Structure 1
């Protein structure tokens, strides 16, 4: 049996999906929630094989939910099931560890097939999503550049890419905020940028981290 956990703030859609999947041979719905605030704990308790995660939920978004899950669990499969197919949501979902990305307008059979696919090691995506992913990768540099950044500077830059504040960078790397600022000044100089947003954009575009 494939154990499935659902997150969606639309009660009607979530309950309809739960009913559909619970009646599908080989599937078992082990839980359904209208938010993903406790997603990491839910997974430790319910032990799902596959998580269906909405993006637009109150409080913590689905992408933030994926990020929190991946901090403690790398094995559970996560499919984003959402109405959003814009580049930023697709990229962020994949970057933080989603295994698949399926639109809610997909047919019930397509969603069932996606669950089976991801459980078997696949990466299910609607064709429109796959096209965007290919375009995103095509627009990236063929090989990453490091701009002569030190390993520590790369760690600081990666932490900024992950959305952390200077204080959070310092805590995660066990260094002082003054040391973080020193590294960031050096990073800005080497990347020839003047702000955090420019540094993050360049890091992603040139695949520095």
Structure 2
């Protein structure tokens, strides 16, 4: 239950933080002269705190619901870690209420953030199309490219896990997707974000040159 609680909390927090980062990119590209006003430090701190609080609040009801679900005598979840869909498969009772609550909260904390992110990038795309300077275009792609890549790496597996209808033949696929977004995606995140740093790129180039 502790693992389930923190896995859900951190996943929800990342969904909300990615929305905050997309707003930051929107302000930087579409409102560059007002950026320091729109993204002042107090607002940034408030958005960060709100992201963490919403994540841990959203995780609480799912973890509490799982305490009341009786299991069918065996306690081995057929997955790499404890998450709601895998634990519901161990239940001896009708779990439609749990599945419905999971679907509703997943729609709120997955679909709504994804829609807001795509809306921000729609506005950014319109601003990019009006740009004439090649230097500014390169700067925009450098600012938004890493974040957009992380968005797709995170949201596509989450959508497949939490918003697809449960089927008997999807267990192996679900295990692979769960492994992907809990191991592969976080590993790639650090690589994607650090390679935006000029010093890191220089160090990697020197290392590859020596190799």
Greater share of strand: 1
Structure of greater Rg: 2
TM-score greater than 0.5 by the shorter chain: no
TM-score, length of structure 1 as denominator length = 0.23
With a CA cutoff of 8 Å and minimum separation of 6, indicate the structure with the bigger relative contact order. Answer: 2
Greater share of helix: 2
TM-score, length of structure 2 as denominator length = 0.23
